[in-house]
Amino acid sequence: MAIPSWAVETLIRGVGNMVDRVPPDRIDQIKQRASSLLDELPRTAARGVDNLFRGARAGREMMDRWTRRHTALVTPVINASGCLGDSRVSGVPLGDHAIELAVESFSGAALSTPTARQRLDRRLNRCAGDDRLSVLVAGNVDAACLAIGLCHPGRPIFVHRSEAIRLSGGTPIPDAFLPVEAGRDGLGHVHEVGSVDGVSAADTIGLPENAILLAVDNGADRPPWFVEVEAAEGHDQRLRVVIMTGSSGLKPPQGEHLQSLTALSPQPRSAHDHLASGAANIVVVPGDGLIGGPPCGLLVGRRSAVEVIAANRVWRALEGGIATRAMITEALEGCSAPTASRHPIGELLATSEENLKSRSERLAIRISAEETIRSCQVGDAPATLTPHGPWKIGSRQLQLRHRDLPAARWAESLAESVPAILAGVIDDTVVLDLRWVQPSDDAALAAALVGGATTETAAAPGVE
């Protein structure tokens, strides 16, 4: 709306009267002040525009995360929990060549003739490093255990009470080897012997000669609980099985991978160690973890013992698919190569603490500049292989506190984003360990922390 002419005239007279009352020496000061204000206007406007774009960018990032979270069928994860075998993670990073093999297998019908199977089996068995050994690949560790129980009907199974732990999938070992109804169908029974407080030589007295004896390698220095009775009585017809909760592979690793494993304390045994010592006929090994393959269960053992399982018609229902067998073969060959260049887990193990320190300090500087981060410090606690195992390796962590969010809520929001960021929580501090984070993920990790810190506070609690 136009300003009336009388109002304009009144304004001019008022300004003129005011100017007449200003002393001449003050006029120059007013001019200078007006000039500085005019110079400041573009900078102020620019800051306002920057704030506008920054808010729009943060809002778009929050919307992108929300969209990806609700449309993604599989959520990628950056494992900064400090535990390679964190229960929230399915598998470990795979090598590029192993992924290519999986794509080739799934892109069309894979050949499953006897000749094709034999070719793949030969390469897989060669990874055991001994012509007397053979390897089978089950769909998962539970399936590998179940194959042992179902393929030996009528043979009683014994496990020590101190080792009746849960497998990585959550199944208790006594339940993993036979279904609950197995006893009623005459397939056998799983018996617990000994005491939960430790192993005694008396625990093996009177065990049947056709028994299946189960032991767990959880990193302890002591041998399997049944070794003494086997050495004393020499009952070779007993099937001795060792379940490994953490391993370095089927045989002792070589090259850079071996050098990186020396940083682990204690050093994990391989399946070959148990078989070479005569302590076991069959060893159950998880295919992921340090082996660096897809989630699966490996049965490695004396050829005669393994062939009994392979010849049973039950095995076809428990065996891993061609893609899984191809990927685990590639991973095992990468483990035994002179270098670990094809082995992502080997690369993470070989990362020096100096490298982790440098990366954590760079991330700390970048993250500390964000206003919503109250504090950011670098820690030096060791990382682990499994949640409860003894294997540890030197590492570095970011210890973060948010200005507004409690640590538990912040860690939960990070785990719900895409990619998901797995972090630990100690008191009111979010802890991000870099040992199992690939260097290429550092930028995404920082962006998730800064972006999440900026946008999550703006969202109402509980509102996606």
- pLDDT tens for 220-252 read 878 888 886 554 445 568 899 999 987 777 776
More confident residue, 292 or 457: 292
Q: Do residues 334 and 360 both lie within one domain?
A: no
State residue 463's pLDDT score: 38
Q: Per residue in 340-364, pLDDT tens?
A: 556 788 889 889 999 999 999 999 9
Last residue of a domain, one of 289, 307, 342: 342
Residue 254, CA distances (Å) to 67, 191, 342, 394 in order: 45, 39, 13, 21
Residue 309 sits in a domain whose CATH number is 3.40.640.10
Residue 70, domain member (yes or no): no
Q: Do residues 171 and 261 both lie within one domain?
A: yes
Q: Do residues 299 and 375 both lie within one domain?
A: no
Q: Do residues 145 and 121 both lie within one domain?
A: yes
d(CA 410, CA 427) in angstroms, rounded, equals 13
Position 418 pLDDT exceeds 50: yes
State residue 231's pLDDT score: 47
Out of 64-68, 91-95, 134-138, 452-456, pick the least confident.
Answer: 452-456
Last residue of a domain, one of 282, 316, 342: 342
What percent of the chain clears pLDDT 90, i.e. is strictly above it?
A: 39
Q: Do residues 334 and 379 both lie within one domain?
A: no
Position 17 pLDDT exceeds 70: no
Residue 216, domain member (yes or no): yes
Residue 367 sits in a domain whose CATH number is 3.90.1150.180
Position 462 pLDDT exceeds 50: no
Residue 122, CA distances (Å) to 52, 134, 140, 320 in order: 63, 9, 21, 16
d(CA 238, CA 94) in angstroms, rounded, equals 37
Residue 9, domain member (yes or no): no
Q: Per residue in 130-183, pLDDT tens?
A: 889 999 999 999 999 999 999 998 889 999 999 888 888 888 888 899 876 655
Question: With contact defined as beta carbons under 8 Å apart, do 432 and 397 qualify?
Answer: yes
Residue 71, domain member (yes or no): no
Number of domains in the chain: 2
Residue 57, domain member (yes or no): no
Residue 2, domain member (yes or no): no
What percent of the chain clears pLDDT 70, i.e. is strictly above it?
A: 75
Position 264 pLDDT exceeds 60: yes
Average pLDDT over residues 78-89: 92
State residue 15's pLDDT score: 61
Q: Do residues 330 and 389 both lie within one domain?
A: no
Specify the amino acid at residue 460: A
State residue 455's pLDDT score: 44
Instruction: Characterize the bridge pairing of strands 392-393 and 383-384.
Output: antiparallel
Last residue of a domain, one of 342, 361, 390: 342
Residue 294, domain member (yes or no): yes
Average pLDDT over residues 31-49: 62
State residue 456's pLDDT score: 45
Confidence grade of residue 10 (pLDDT, cut at 50, 70, 90): confident
Q: Do residues 401 and 281 both lie within one domain?
A: no
Q: Do residues 169 and 214 both lie within one domain?
A: yes
Range of the domain at 297: 96-342
More confident residue, 14 or 363: 363
State residue 432's pLDDT score: 97
Q: Per residue in 367-397, pLDDT tens?
A: 998 888 999 999 999 999 988 888 999 999 9
Helix (H, G, I), strand (E, B) or coil at 289: helix
In the block, residue with structure tokens 């501090």: 429
* Maximum distance among all Cα pairs of the chain, rounded to whole angstroms: 120
State residue 335's pLDDT score: 77
Residue 7, domain member (yes or no): no
Q: Do residues 220 and 305 both lie within one domain?
A: yes
Hey, which residues does 393 pair with through a beta bridge? 383
More confident residue, 199 or 21: 199
Q: Do residues 335 and 278 both lie within one domain?
A: yes
Q: Do residues 338 and 197 both lie within one domain?
A: yes
The secondary structure of 194-238 as a DSSP string is SBTTB--GGGGTT--TT-EEEEEESS-SSPPTTHHHHHHH--TTS
State residue 99's pLDDT score: 87
Question: With contact defined as beta carbons under 8 Å apart, do 239 and 305 qualify?
Answer: yes
For Cα atoms 324, 439, 448, give the angle at the middle one, nearest 5 degrees. 95
Q: What is the pTM of this model?
A: 0.77
Average pLDDT over residues 49-59: 57
Q: Do residues 175 and 110 both lie within one domain?
A: yes
